[in-house]
Amino acid sequence: MTRKPTLFAALIPIILLIAMLTSNVFLFDDVLDGPNQIALLLAASAGIVVAWRLGFNWVSINSRIVKTIGSAMPSMLILLLIGSLAGTWLISGTIPVMVYYGLDIIHPKVFLVTAVIVSAIVSVVTGSSWSTVATIGVALLGIGKTMGFEPAIVGGAIISGAYFGDKISPLSDTTNLAPAMAGTDLFTHIRYMTQTTIPSMIITLIIFLVIGFFYDYQSQAVDVSSVQNAIETTFNTTPWLLLVPVTLFVVIVMKIPPLPSLMIGTLLGGLFAVIFQPQTIEYLVPGENYFKASYMAVMQAMFGDVSLNTDVKAVNELLSTTGMRGMLNTVWLILTAMVFGGVMEAGGLLERITRPIVERAKSTGSLVASTVVTCLFFNTTASDQYISIVVPGRMFKDSYAKKGLKPEVLSRTLEDSGTMTSVLIPWNTCGATQAKVLGVETFAYAPYAFFNIISPFMTIAFAYLNIKIRRYKSSKVA
């Protein structure tokens, strides 16, 4: 016979986790290198003890943990393939060539705005923020660093643009998931969501435009010609290499699933390395026949460390990658986060914590604000953006209906909060992944991910001010 937890009992694992995560920041140089993973496991252990005392057996708890990990498995596999893709795109010269041409085209004063817009366009077309950040995002980061911008600011611009597309693209999984949970159709959801999304993006672009015009990038800038010369000396900088990202985007637009799409992009990068960069292959595997050297170099790029040295330090940072191996700490973090989330869900602890929030939501504004807070809570505790959409979607669906609110109000709120805040949490699958791919800590880029920060506040403001809130005709304004 199982019992329902008290609020204090449900909060014990959360309090323990927050205490350990805070301590890790002050005690360890790299909290993602193991300390935070252990903190999540210890907090999960506390959750198991609480669940046991409530009468839950290990079989039911373990079943929920396995199910939760299973839900995150596609994300972890995608992350590993992103590591491989980064490796082959490096040795093929694909990313260096995008940086090479980007330095010619983009002026520093409008670079940040350009980074937002380009990332947004690519993400809308592909429907994937992860693919956008791992491809064009990495190139934009290299361009920005060369121009003298702090990586955190550039990372915030890239994230803002990438998540704009992820939010409104009909190809995006979260854009399809949110209306499914709320009970509306996809295109009604997208059209309604633009009412908060467009103002949020306009404000974001204005902020980055102001930063770009007043930022002292020249004091930290690297000589552009020296960077281009170093790239040109190391690689064959043919425009044909741009076929690699173009092909990947076409493949994604054709609705080929992410895993095979990324594998195609990875293998194409390896093929182009063999065709266009024989000097790079020879540098990585000297003294072997070209067939053997090509195989070894491409394999090394896919699974391990690759570094190409030039006379320009800034270029050396760009020309290094860690392949799949470099993603293992992040996969470890996601695994432990899923264990914690599974335990909290299995014992009914998450539901107990969020129940008072639902019960206290009386007005339309407070209901929307409660949904936002709940989504943020699940992004922080369950560490997965899908859970932060699915569970609050189920929790609040009846409440929105009882207040006479149409389902698109809920679906928009889920996207404005669940999707947008996931990338701001270091141990969330999204935050951990983007930090690893960009090489910028989550808490470093998060203050500059203006679009992601503004979006939940925009949807709350619309609700409290009763702007564009759709109701059934028989409903009164609340």
For 39-69, the three-class secondary structure string (H helix, E strand, C coil) is HHHHHHHHHHHHHHHCCCCHHHHHHHHHHHH
How large a percentage of the chain has pLDDT more than 90? 41
- Give the model confidence (pLDDT) of 95-112 as tens digits: 888 888 887 777 888 899
How large a percentage of the chain has pLDDT more than 70? 97
> Is residue 146 assigned to a domain?
yes
> Is residue 161 assigned to a domain?
yes
Picking from 311, 152, 166, the residue whose alpha carbon sits closest to that of residue 252 is: 166
What is the tally of structural domains in the chain?
1
Picking from 476, 464, 286, the residue whose alpha carbon sits closest to that of residue 361 is: 464
Does the structure show a pLDDT above 90 at 320? no
> Is residue 65 assigned to a domain?
no
Per the structure, the complete domain to which residue 263 belongs is given by: 74-326+348-478
Question: Burial letters for 239-264: b for 16+ Cβ neighbours within 10 Å, e otherwise?
Answer: eebeebbebbbebbeeeeebeebbeb
> Is residue 199 assigned to a domain?
yes
Which span out of 116-125, 158-167, 310-319 was modeled with the highest average pLDDT?
158-167
Looking at residue 219, its pLDDT comes to 63
Q: What pTM was computed for the model?
A: 0.77
Q: In which band, very low, low, confident or very high, does the pLDDT at 478 lie, cut at 50, 70 and 90?
A: very low
Average pLDDT score, the chain: 87
> Is residue 332 assigned to a domain?
no
Question: Burial letters for 297-331: b for 16+ Cβ neighbours within 10 Å, e otherwise?
Answer: bbbbbbbeebebebebebbeebbebbbbbbbebbb
Does the structure show a pLDDT above 50 at 56? yes
What does the pLDDT average to over 252-258? Answer: 78
Alpha-carbon gap, residue 111 to 342, rounded angstroms: 42
Alpha-carbon gap, residue 318 to 307, rounded angstroms: 9
> Is residue 17 assigned to a domain?
no
First to last CA, the chain: 41
> Is residue 28 assigned to a domain?
no
- Give the model confidence (pLDDT) of 64-79 as tens digits: 999 888 877 887 888 7
Asked whether the beta carbons of 332 and 378 are under 8 A apart, the reply is no
**DSSP state string for 164-218:** HHHHH-TT-HHHHHHHHHHT--HHHHHHHHHHHHHHHHHHHHHHHHHHHHH---T
- Give the model confidence (pLDDT) of 415-430 as tens digits: 999 989 999 998 888 8
Asked whether the beta carbons of 368 and 418 are under 8 A apart, the reply is no
Higher pLDDT, 22 or 460: 460
Alpha-carbon gap, residue 241 to 95, rounded angstroms: 9
Alpha-carbon gap, residue 428 to 448, rounded angstroms: 18
> Is residue 32 assigned to a domain?
no
- Give the model confidence (pLDDT) of 356-389 as tens digits: 877 777 788 999 999 999 899 888 877 778 878 8
